[in-house]
Structure 1
């Protein structure tokens, strides 16, 4: 019996007729943190959106198995209810909807249980304190006028409230200063347990130093071409992707 939460096999994905993912294989066990790195245009965000079920991303071959079920044809809302969460690289601003209203509605939708106002306020306050977010953020319109760091913290707050089985973080550390990266990393670590897994898409090592991932994968030209530990990310930081590109092209 496998302990894998996610099994991706030979995943090939088109966007508007162009093949972006060219046969991705990835296994994520329960409780693991995996990092996806690679140059721009390699397919990192495409992988995240495909896992979440974005309708513009067409699976032309391969399978995504999540928690023992093939989910290739599941809609986004069904995947969310099964426990998949995607944080956006560029979170949307939603005027007229407060952070608290949005999160309470989302929690109700995903869990299938109506969230009573007072218990939810208590939960929200607790999670915001963990992320060192001021209480007044709860009453602000979602992401409206938020700094880049505030938007990213808000994504982690959403993840903390929804408690997904699999969290996919797309460039969550982009644009953050060192203190904000630490706070975000601590928030992510608090979510992780033996049943929950995390995929982090990133260019930066600083977040990884805090997270201490189990595996680092290099996604190059639509395929995962190399996997390792934190030392692989450190190698990329020093030498870039050229050596790996040459190594891959010679195979």
Structure 2
């Protein structure tokens, strides 16, 4: 069993007018076998939470704690967080010209495991992961995210998830920019990961459509840098029908 425990997390970013607090005391606990969905309006701090957990230097943690299996995540470097078992699928994956998908994946796997994967089995694993995401084997020879469509970028992120096999996956708007076919393929990849023993998922989204394919155990309403309410999957349907108006200014 693994547990990602976020307690009273406060995060600020630098602006021209000085530090601006984005997260104002976030408390969440994600256990193995659980999928938590975070929904909220634009600017509520959802992506700030994801990048703060992952260790983006833009975000300054001013209070609270984040632990993974009791270990202090905030004291770790970004690569240490990945080795500890955290994974972030980014909302806007960056291009890495000149670095092939194949080299990127093998280098990442080697860094996380502490040893290079055996080449014969690794090539098979990569090809299987790509095929699962409806990506041709030649995809591995392309430069990372260079010239990729929106759907290819997101499917590549989920291929990484399958191959790197973390303890907890943080998925930042993985559904954005996907057509219905790509959404189904990506959701199937996430569900394959969820089906493994000891995995947790934090899924950030604006829309309920991905939650029709990835059933959350808990839905959190995120407003103004705090969790305004938590509930079951039915809460997402309420948000779809009524929006966030009743939660604005009513965080707890």
TM over 0.5: yes
1:219 to 213, 222, 236: 222
Q: Is 2:238 the counterpart of 1:235?
A: yes
Which runs of structure 2 are paired with 1:72-111 in the superposition (5 Å)?
72-111=74-113
Structure 2: runs of 5 or more not aligned? none
Asked whether 1:207 is paired with 2:180, we answer no
- 1:4 deviates by 5.7
After the TM superposition, which segments of 4 or more aligned residues of structure 1 sit over 3 Å from their partners? none
Q: For 1:157, which of 156, 159, 172 is the aligned residue?
A: 159
SS at 2:53 equivalent: helix
State the shift of 1:117 in Å.
Answer: 2.6
The normalised TM-score by structure 1 is: 0.95
Q: Is the 8 A contact 2:40 2:244 kept in 1?
A: yes
- Provide closer, same or farther for how the CA distance between residues 194 and 120 of structure 1 changes in structure 2, counting only shifts above 3 A: closer
Shift of 1:217: 0.4
**C-alpha contact (below 8 Å) 1:89/1:170 kept by paired residues:** yes
SS in 1 for 2:211: helix
Structure 1: runs of 5+ lacking an equivalent: none
Kept after mapping to 2: 8 A contact 1:4/1:27: no
Q: Alignment partner of 2:57: what SS?
A: coil
- Per mean C-alpha deviation after superposition, the further-off stretch among 224-233 and 237-246 is 237-246
What secondary structure does 2:61 align onto? strand
Deviations 1:203-226 (A, max 9, x none): 111110111110110111010110
Deviations 1:203-250 (A, max 9, x none): 11111011111011011101011011111111111111002226x16x
Structure 2 contact 2–167 (Cα < 8 Å) conserved: no
CA contact (8 A) 1:11 1:63 kept: yes
Q: Residue 74 of structure 2: SS of its match in structure 1?
A: coil
1:179 aligned residue (160, 178, 181): 181
Number of equivalent positions: 247
Cα distance change of structure 1 residues 11 and 97 upon mapping to structure 2, 3 Å threshold? same
Partner Cα separation in structure 1 for residue 31 and residue 120 of structure 2: 36
Normalising by the residue count of structure 2, what TM-score does the alignment of the two structures yield? 0.95
